[in-house]
Amino acid sequence: MTKQFLVDQIIAKQSYLCVGLDTDITKLPAGLPKNKEGVIAFNKAIIDATAPYCVSYKINTAFYESQGIAGWEAMEATLAHIPKTHFTIADAKRGDIGNTSAQYAKTFFEVLPFDAITVAPYMGKDSIDPFLAYTNKWTIVLGLTSNEGSKNFEQQKLASGQFLFESVLEQVSSWATAEQIMFVVGATKAQDLENIRKIIPHHFLLVPGVGAQGGSLSEVTKYGRNQQIGLLVNASRAIIFASTENDFAEKANQVAKQYAEEMKILLSL
């Protein structure tokens, strides 16, 4: 998917919502079997219920890989059900030496035809180049994450005076254009978005942490948007597990609609 197509979808819907399909098989509603068929039925219902209000879906691959072959089959069926108008992300956080990264890229760009994959940048440029070799595909690089452990490395000061994550943003953004690279910035780091936008003014940001993790949508929008909006704000549990009963799809629809309505208001300010 091209950047312009994604921007056009966001503008048309006045929504930059990404729904995270972090489908925990142990949390499926009681009316669904806790197996591959149950996961697929759940995901299809969530997608059908939320598609009018979002522009993207992010599949956290760990929840599928942990189920072995059945999980991969569920992931494949889920991806196939997502409308082509919606931006698809494999949240896999890969990154390895070049020939290994090339196989990861093949897995998530060809075998499973996602639009984007999340990657870890700490092995350097040669570990990311194989992903960047694909046209109309996106590499979403971890920038500043919201977990407690981000203090261990990401927020360490370098001799240059920069934080490590700032150096990552600066260097990685020079490896390809804003048509190919996005960055992950946690919503609970919203106070840092203003400075981050000075480093990467034109890139899209994938922002997890709104909803169950307590991030502020208004702050993320205020400090993170750019001229093309440039945001994909992800909500997972708050939407897909809005209910644990048989009305789970209806409740997911309602919560996604609430996010979309708030986004429309924030974009008008």
**pLDDT tens string 63-106:** 999 999 999 999 999 999 999 999 999 999 999 999 999 999 99
Q: What is the mean pLDDT of residues 22-38?
A: 96
Closest CA to 171 of 131, 122, 135, 234: 122
Give burial (CB, 10 Å; 0-12/13-18/19+) of 243: middle
DSSP-assigned letter for residue 110: I
Active site residue 27: no
Q: Is the pLDDT of residue 191 over 90?
A: no
Q: What is the mean pLDDT of residues 162-176?
A: 96
For residue 123, what are the domain limits? 3-268
Q: What are phi and psi of 206, to 5 degrees?
A: -95, 120
> Measured at the alpha carbon of residue 67, what is the angle toward residues 57 and 129, in degrees to the nearest 5?
55
pTM of the model: 0.96
For helices 36-50 and 248-268, the axis angle rounded to 10 degrees is 40
Are residues 129 and 98 in contact, defined by beta-carbon separation less than 8 angstroms? yes
pLDDT digits (tens, 9 = 90+) for 203-236: 999 999 886 666 789 999 999 999 999 999 999 9
pLDDT at 211: 66
**From the candidates 27, 93, 222, 257, which is the catalytic residue?**
93
The mean pLDDT value of the chain amounts to 95
Q: Is the pLDDT of residue 2 over 70?
A: yes
Q: Is the dihedral angle over the CA atoms 51, 53, 58, 62 positive or is it negative? A: negative
- In this prediction, what percent of the chain has a pLDDT beyond 90? 92
pLDDT at 224: 94
Lowest mean pLDDT among 8-12, 63-67, 208-212, 261-265: 208-212
Alpha carbon distance 207, 18 (integer Å) = 9
Are residues 96 and 104 in contact, defined by beta-carbon separation less than 8 angstroms? yes
How far from 204 is each of 177, 214, 238, CA to CA, in Å?
A: 11, 21, 23
Alpha carbon distance 112, 1 (integer Å) = 14
pLDDT digits (tens, 9 = 90+) for 111-131: 999 999 999 999 999 999 999
Q: Which residue has the tokens 């003014």?
A: 201
Domain containing 123 — which CATH number? 3.20.20.70
Are residues 150 and 144 in contact, defined by beta-carbon separation less than 8 angstroms? yes
Q: What is the mean pLDDT of residues 131-139?
A: 96
Q: Is the pLDDT of residue 190 over 80?
A: no
Domain count, the chain: 1
> Measured at the alpha carbon of residue 256, what is the angle toward residues 85 and 10, in degrees to the nearest 5?
40
Helix (H) or strand (E) holding 57: strand 56-60
Q: What is the mean pLDDT of residues 53-66?
A: 98
